[in-house]
Structure formats: C-alpha cells, structure tokens
Amino acid sequence: MDSKINRRDFIKATTATTASVAALGAGITLTTYVNANENPVTNEKRWGMLVDTNRLTESDIDGMVTACQKENGWGNETHSTGDQKASWIKKIKVKDTATQRISNLALMCQHCEEPPCVDVCPTNASMKREDGIVLVDKHRCIGCRYCMMACPYDARSFVHEELTNQKEHMPRGKGTVEACTLCVHRVDKGEQPACVEAVDSDAVIFGDLLDVTSNIHQTLKRVQSTQIRADLNLNTGVRYSGI
C-alpha cells in the first residue's frame, strides 16, 4: 500500500478529504487553532514604529538592544569577530555639524515600502509581507549578501558560524542573512515588538500606520517626523522625530 502512493496524485486526490478529515478531527486536535491567524496578512495594515529621540534616553536604547537580543537570541556568537557578530539593532549617536546638537537613536531595519534588499535579492528570499514587514526567507536564502550591499541602513547581518539552541520562534543559521523582523512572531499574536515593550515611556510607539484611530497614526499627524535617508524615497515604516 505504502509504495503505491504517488505524491502528486496523492495531493490531488486528498485535498478534499484532508479538509473534511481535518474538520472532523477538529474536536480533538484543532481546538487550539481558534485564536491563531488562519488567514494571510493583507495590505490593509502597515506596521510601523515612531522613535522620539527627544525623549529616548541612552539607557532606553541599551534596553531596546538587550530586549531584542534576549527575544531573538542573537549577539552571543562565539567565533565571530566584532564586525562579524549579528547586529539587528544598534545605538547611534549623531551630532548636527551646524548646531552641534546631539541625538541618540536606535537603528534597525527600517521596513521600507520599497526595500532595496527585496529589489536585489536573486531568489526572492528577501521579501516584504503584505503588511509591510520586511523579512528574510531563510529557506530560500543562498547567502550571496547582495541585500547587505544594497541596504542603506546597515541593518542586516550574515551568520558567520554554526548556531545551536536558537529561539523556537526565531530560526537563525549559518550562511544566511538576517535582520530585525519587527518581532513578527509577536506582532502576529497581537503583541508589540520586544524593543518597544522594553521602553517605559512612549518614546517608542508601534502600530498600524494606516489605522486612523491608532496612536502612531495620530501622533505622526501631529508631530514632525523624518525618515532616515528620506532622499532615497523608500518610504520607511520606522520613523523618527527630533532629529
């Protein structure tokens, strides 16, 4: 019997039955699915973040970095040298050359609407979800690093060594490229990204840019904000005010 199942025929023949069996079996095993996202995300949402550098303290930023490391399990690579270690989010201190004003900010993947990394990726591994989150599909990533050449924000890291004991929700592995996922696994559960949660004040807010009732939408309407390298017209999902 086993040997007679041909995979392709099997799929054709059993798509219908699978559905009905699944429905029957739902009583026992599928109960936990109820609250899970069964439907694909859509472009009715666009996730974004607003960082207010006037209120963000340096220790806030350190907290964001630590929270990201803890949540996603990067930064404890043992063999990689400084520049080879993963760096999904980092603290940046800038001084205006004219006014000498100093601002501190956290820099991570900006989740562009027109991401250069997605444009250049030969295998569609770099991708943007319908809701605006830019991800690396590591199943397809061949490790060519062209996306790292193309990213204007120095946001991506290449895994330079073999890893074990990854976080269950955040697979990472040697030879592939990775970056901030906007904590997609949390966002899909209705939670906030780890770095946003780590800041006590509302110096960093997260939400749906398109939702007119959301805090982030209303704040962006009210205060002046900028995108880093706005001249590139990438329309980033992460915005900054106060720089």
Partner 1 sequence: MSIIRYEQTQGKSLGFYALIAGLGAFILAALGGVYFMEHNGHHVTGMNNHIVWGLPHVFALFLIVAASGALNIASIASVFNKKIYKPLSRLSGLVALALLAGGLMVLVLDLGRPDRLIVAMTEYNFGSIFAWNIILYNGFFLIVGIYLWMMFERRMNKYSRKVGIAAFIWRLILTTGTGSIFGFLVARQAYDAVIMAPMFIVMSFAFGLAFFVLVLMASYKWTERPLGDAIVNRLSNLLGVFVAAVLYFVAVYHLGNLYLAENSGVENFILMDGGIYTQLFWYGQIILGSLIPLVLIYSPSTKGNRSMLGLASVLVILGGIAQLYVIIVGGQAYPMELFPGKEILEGYGAIALYTPTLAELMLGLGGIAVALIAIIFLVKVLPFLPESLADNVADPHHKS
Partner 2 sequence: MNRFMVLLLSLMMTSVFAHANSEHTLGTQADSMKSSGKTYHQSSSMIRKMHPEFMNHKRDKTLRQGVRTEEYSLKGCVSCHASKKDQSNDYHAIDASEQFCSTCHQKVAISVDCFGCHRTTPAEGDK
33 interacts with, out of partner 2, partner 1, none, CB within 5 to 8 A per kind:
partner 2
Residue 44 touching partner 1 (CB under 8 A): no
Residue 158 touching partner 1 (CB under 8 A): yes
- As a whole number of angstroms, the distance between CA 113 and CA 99 comes to 32
Residue 32 touching partner 1 (CB under 8 A): no
Beta strands in 175-234 (DSSP E): 177-178, 204-208
Nearest residue to 131 (alpha-carbon basis) of 80, 92, 169, 188? 188
> Token match 């060519």: residue?
144
- As a whole number of angstroms, the distance between CA 59 and CA 149 comes to 31
Q: Collapse the DSSP code of 59 into the 3-class scheme (helix H, G, I; strand E, B; otherwise coil) and give the result.
A: helix
Task: List beta partners, residue 128.
Answer: 134
Nearer to partner 1, 44 or 119 (CB): 119
- Contact with partner 1 (CB under 8 A) among 4, 79, 221, 222: 79
Residues contacting partner 2: total by CB under 8 A = 47
What tokens were used for 115?
A: 């991401």
164 interacts with, out of partner 2, partner 1, none, CB within 5 to 8 A per kind:
partner 2
Radius of gyration of the chain (CA): 21
Residue 22 touching partner 2 (CB under 8 A): yes
Site for partner 1 in 223-242 (CB under 8 A): 228-229, 231-232
Site string for partner 2, 101-140 (x = CB under 8 A): --------------------------x-xxx---x-xxx-
Residue 81 touching partner 1 (CB under 8 A): yes
188 interacts with, out of partner 2, partner 1, none, CB within 5 to 8 A per kind:
partner 2
Nearest residue to 74 (alpha-carbon basis) of 108, 112, 116? 108
The arrangement of strands across the sheet holding 204-208 comes to 204-208, 47-52, 238-241
- As a whole number of angstroms, the distance between CA 177 and CA 160 comes to 9
Phi-psi group of 226: left, alpha or beta (phi > 0 → left; psi -120 to 50 → alpha; rest → beta): beta
Nearer to partner 1, 87 or 241 (CB): 87
Site for partner 2 in 160-199 (CB under 8 A): 162-169, 171-176, 184, 188-189
- As a whole number of angstroms, the distance between CA 206 and CA 19 comes to 37
Nearer to partner 1, 117 or 220 (CB): 117
243 interacts with, out of partner 2, partner 1, none, CB within 5 to 8 A per kind:
partner 1
Nearer to partner 2, 96 or 137 (CB): 137
For partner 1, the binding residues (CB under 8 A) are 77, 79-81, 83-87, 90-98, 102, 107, 116, 118-125, 140-146, 148-154, 156-162, 174-177, 228-229, 231-232, 243
